[in-house]
Amino acid sequence: MLGVSSPMPSGALPLTPPMLPAARELLDKVAGYLCAEEVELVETAYRYGERAHEGQFRKSGEPYITHPIAVASILADWFLDHQALIAALLHDVMEDTGVTKLEIADQFGKPVADLVDGLSKLERLEFQTKEDAQAENFRKMLLAMARDIRVILVKLADRLHNMRTLDAMNPDKQKRIARETMDIYAPIANRIGLNSVYQELEDLSFRYVHPHRYLVLAKALKAARGNRREVVSKILEAIKHKLADSAIEALVNGREKHLYSIYKKMQEKHLTFSQVLDIYGFRVIVKDVPHCYLTLGALHGLYKPIPGKFKDYIAIPKGNGYQSVHTTLFGPYGTPVEVQIRTQDMHKVAESGVASHWIYKSGNVSINEVQQKTHQWLKSLLEIQSQSGDSVEFLEHIKVDLFPDEVYVFTPKGKIMSLPQGATAVDFAYAVHTDIGNRCIAAKINYELMPLRTVLRNGDRVEIITASTSKPNPNWLNFVATGKARSHIRHYLKTMRYEESVTLGERLLNQSLVALKADNIDDALWERFLREEAGEKSRQEILSDIGLGKRLPVVVAKRLLAPSGLIAEMPQRPDPITIHGTEGMAVQFAQCCSPIPGDPIIGVIKKGQGLIVHTHDCPVLRKSRIDPEKMLDVQWDQTVQRMFDVNVKVLAVHERGALAQIAAAIADDGANIQNVHMEDEHDRTAYTTLNFTLQVENRGHLAKVMKALRQLPVVVRINRVRGTAA
């Protein structure tokens, strides 16, 4: 930070303030791998940032510039290039000072300015809520990251230093920042393979989200270190001797699981700390892939392997490029011994992930593969962004995709696909191709026909069956596990709903215009209406608003006609809207009365939902206070060709085979059973009440089914149910 200088004689050059020790350490560090010209640019950026942040201090009382220096120092440990280091030194100047992107571009070039811009929050925009602002900032950062991976590396270094110095914040802010770190930044670090950053962020977040649990567990772990030191040393020596006897050259070391991973294991498996035996693991690093498997054989000869605890991430790498063989053995005293076996190159990727591109300049295959996998993930972010309606939705999809655990499944041609834990056949379909997802109707898993909601397991062979007429089902959103599937389904449903609501809106508006004795509206009247009444909305958007109940058709019609003086003094009663049953999402059939063709019906315009069709005698509708302007005359088309849900209650004799007889009679008359459940009546053993949701063509079809059921000896009483749900 610049100090206050004493007056200088006229014509004297201003004195350069002394460099902070941390800045000098940073320059010494980068001088080890950058050329002299690049080191000079980094120093210039430090001086620029110091002047920009002059007079600003952190909550701890330190000059603010100490934070950008610390961030740049973390990046220097990863050997990042000079542009990333300059961006780190200037990453807050656009937010916290008057410096503009253009000024940074003039001084340090466009790539640096783009990096700084990608890291800057959208402080100058107005948002409805804090959540909207947070989501839009994440969206901006992640999209900048998709263009340049260095954005997220600088951001992770920034978050890491902030978490290391979080003590200065008040407890509420500590918890909020820690929760955000645990939900977003730690998973991103894991996703791009920065293992050490991921673990440190998780442990630091755990410390502030659950401070008491953190302290208790840290104390227990410290005590355990002493108690288990002898066992760990014994196992380490045994592994080294066994590998030496097998003529395998290897580097063997013990490693302690990080605190939050121990806590997660206790939570997930409902264990006490003393029951978590595999706190310590061992890592064996060998020269090549064949020696990984030779080592595995040698260790299985030393201690017995625990069945089901073997994972081969060399043959099938994780989504972030991680490769190792994992095995868990029965060690001495019954202690489980977890061992990771990998090559030196695999170890580099495991520790540094995508940052290994800068850390190791060897250009080996493993590092190229991790870059490729990261690039594929970044491409998927752009795809999800293009399908998401707003920032909050985009962030929701991204959170879904940041699962640390994965399952590996096979396509029919033997290609391996990585999906998050809990992924279903629909997730798989969308992972293969968007069109496959949109048109899927069933799945064959391990050659057996299975429902689309089936959760996939490691090693499953999955084949998707499609139909050209099929389309995404809104119910899929209840079970899909990937952001890609969720965003594509929502996008399709929104598009379809928009198109259907435009069509319905046009029908409703035309009906109102006819009632006002106006045949059509010319373009001049539309243009005037859009200019004066609709703001920036188009004609299509106005029609969609009418179809979704956001605008009343009669009001729009009157405003359209007002300038022309064509409004009829005595409007005629409009013709009823004809319901074909194929209108899609813009026309819905009320669940409270389940109207079917043949029922007298009435339509209600409901905001955000469109036209809801009720029966005339619907009990729920009778009790509701509805604006008469929102009620429409509707009628059934005489040629409706689809099945409709209807609720039926049957009181039957409680005897063996009664349900089978009823189901057979329903099927014989061409109706489908959509759902059935039995009412719990403990005090009545002679009879039982069955509630059916049937699918029938029309009222006549329902009457035929009910007549057939009444003739069954086991049926005591049957009636159609209305008014059970709003």
Which residues are designated catalytic?
95-96
**Cβ atoms < 10 Å from Cβ of 435:** 12
> Looking up tokens 């043959």, which residue turns up?
315
What three-state secondary structure class fits 540? helix
For residue 33, the SS3 value is coil
Q: What is the 3-state secondary structure (H, E, C) of 268-282?
A: HHCCCHHHCCCCEEE
Beta strands in 453-504 (DSSP E): 462-466
Identify whether the C-beta of residue 620 lies closer than 8 Å to the C-beta of residue 592.
Answer: yes
Burial class (CB in 10 A: 0-12, 13-18, 19+), 103: middle
State how far the Cα of 455 lies from the Cα of 475, in Å rounded to an integer: 15
Residue 409: closest CA among 482, 462, 366, 345: 462
The alpha-helical segments, DSSP class H, found in 572-698 are: 619-623, 658-668
Structure tokens at 325: 């063989």
Task: Specify the 3-state DSSP secondary structure of 21.
Answer: helix
Nearest by Cα to 581 from 635, 535, 628, 529: 635
Describe the crossing of helices 66-77 and 21-30 by its angle, rounded to 10 degrees: 20
- Non-local CB neighbours of 147 within 8 Å, separated by 6+ positions: 114, 118
Please, are residues 590 and 618 in contact by the beta-carbon 8 Å criterion?
Answer: yes
Half-sphere CA count of 33, side-chain side, radius 13 A = 16
The C-alpha atoms of residue 211 and residue 705 are separated, in whole angstroms, by 64
SS3 92: coil
Q: Which amino acid is at 301?
A: G
β partners of residue 164: none
User: Which of 302, 285, 288 shows the shortest CA–CA distance to 246?
Assistant: 302
Please name which of 150, 136, 159 lies closest in space to residue 192, comparing C-alpha atoms. Answer: 150
SS3 assignment for 208-233: HHCHHHHHHHHHHHHHHHHHHHHHHH
117: tokens are: 């811009």
Sequence-distant (6+) residues with CB within 8 A of 335 are 231, 235, 277, 278
Q: Write phi, then psi, for 562 (nearest 5 degrees).
A: -50, -50
Tokens of 224: 């355990």
> DSSP states of 116-154 as a string?
HHHHS--TTS--SSHHHHHHHHHHHHHHHHHH-THHHHH
∠ Cα 642 644 649 (to 5°): 150
Between CA 709 and CA 78 the distance in angstroms is 76
Find the DSSP H helices in 516-657: 523-532, 539-547, 553-561, 619-623
List the beta bridge partners of residue 64: none
- The answer to whether 401 and 484 have CB atoms below 8 angstroms apart is yes
| Cβ atoms < 10 Å from Cβ of 258 | 18
The span from the CA of 393 to the CA of 494, in Å, is 13
Sign of the CA dihedral 655, 658, 660, 661?
positive
